[in-house]
Structure 1
Amino acid sequence: MRKYRGLIFFLVPGLLMYLVFFVTPTLSALGLSLTDWNGISPDYNWVGLDNYKFMIGQDPVFHQALGNNIKYTLFVVIFQTAFSLLFALLLVKNTRLNIFYRALFFLPTIIASVSVAFIWIFMYDPSIGFLNLTLQKLGLEVLQHSWLGDKKIAIYSIAFVQVWAHTGQVMVIFIAGLQSIPHSLYEVARIEGASRWQTFRRVTWPLLAPSATIVAAYTTLQSFKAFDLILAMTDGGPSYATEILSIFLYHEAFRNFKFGYASASAVLFMLIIASITYMQFKILRANRVTY
């Protein structure tokens, strides 16, 4: 035990940072969620679980934000995973052309989210935007929309931007997973007469399950915590149509000065993310065992 005693000191800096920057703020938020603190006054009242009761039972904006968050997350997880896997399958070989396309698809990831937001605000502009002008030139005026002004499609318009910006990032994870699969397994499948779909279903996908687990968890967290992209593009509008939980939390704290209420939403936010991530890991692990 003595020879490991010195190694313990290497854990101390990381442990201190974890305590200071995660445990302490989490406990503080939990305590503040039981008060009506406005973020400015030194005085506040203890309200117990009233913030949680009102938020879950009576606050229509919170309910809409949660619904928007679910729509946004499902859209991003489904399409970002599908596109990234498709591109990974097409670009898995290390040829010069494939490496060029990988870099091209990865490029939006390194652009700041606010810059991406302004690019797509211009693209979505109903009058001079590239998208509507292209539809007009193709004679498809019926498909023209106010992409960020229509309450029915605004959340999906922003979700598409997230998919566009981060598909290349997730593609890299899938490519790493594909390249780790032994080539001999594909040779055996070809000798046995397996079709491409059978090879993918019986060989590629089961061995790609660890990468898929990482992608699903990361994409869910990424989309549930989306903030700067939505804030820059719509600020939650129109009429709360694009307001998700992170935007709701920000508005309650820094615009309405309800820090106690915002802390309660932060606690619920954390519990929702933890529950979804746990269920994802359980489902994906179960699927991996059945293969």
Structure 2
Amino acid sequence: MLKAAFNASISKNLRKKNFNWPTNSKFKKTKNILPIFLLAITFALGVQLYAQPSAPAEQKAKPTIVAIIGGTLIDGTGKDPLPNVVIIIEGDKIKEVGPAAKVNVPEGATKIDTSGKWILPGFIDCHIHLGTESSKLEYYQDSNSLATLRALQLMNMYFRCGVTAVRDVGSPVEVMQALLRAQKNGYIDSIRVYPCGDLITITGGHGYGMHGSLAVDGPWEWRKAVRQMYAAGFKYIKISPQFTLEEARAAVEEARMLGLHITAHGGGFSDTIPPTMTKIAIKAGVECIEHLNEMDDETLDLMAKRHIYNVPTLYTYYASYQRNGINR
């Protein structure tokens, strides 16, 4: 009905304008030309609107400039501390660093007086599990949403302590994905996270059943597990004992093919019985070993010979030994 009324209205208006419709054989019925006429009007209007100059784009706001003034800088390069320093930060970039006598503070900069204080680069924690439960009660009541909130709380706590980046070596996939996506979309503003996703172990292995572990058996399943973490968006892989040389080597080969870094849990009970899991991981070709306790000299020498990195987590064991009355 609406279409018919519209067409009738158009025809009426056209008659008022004394339009003479053609009567030859090409145009036997006026209704045949009406859609063509309307299409021409629509096209003309579209061209006119397209040709209208667009509103000028808003100029981008200039980044905020912050001047940190008067503190003593330890820059982490091994240089001597630099007293009475000025650091100019523009947006999220450090633009200039130097003695107060040589650095000009831009006009309008926000000034932060750090006289009598020390200034250091952000610290990095190379071994953390942001998303895993921290108590037996949490273990039985945990969920991905709760783990995400717990991880965010830990990230913000780190930030307040001067830690600006962490390497997460085993947390639930969905938790890590949510945090990374939230940072990318600007929902949260916190420290940088470099996650592995699930740690990969065997049925009954170290971490088995933990929220944030993936239990698989046999070399082909280990390859598949690495591919799963890759497909989930992770660039780092963590394997955990027990594992055979074939399983560990399959994971390493797959990680290398996909351009991923790979590390292995080492030390502890798994290194007290032959063959030690750390030796197997090293022979398989991992790039790094987590933890350091219970390793013999032969294992440490093999790590040094093959230039394997180590994250010792010394304080973790110190606190554990103190808590359990172990004198080491």
Q: Which TM bucket (shorter chain)? A: under 0.3
Q: Which has the higher helix share?
A: 1
Q: Which has the higher strand share?
A: 2
Which structure has the higher relative contact order (CA within 8 Å, separation 6+)? 1
Higher Rg of the two aligned structures: 2
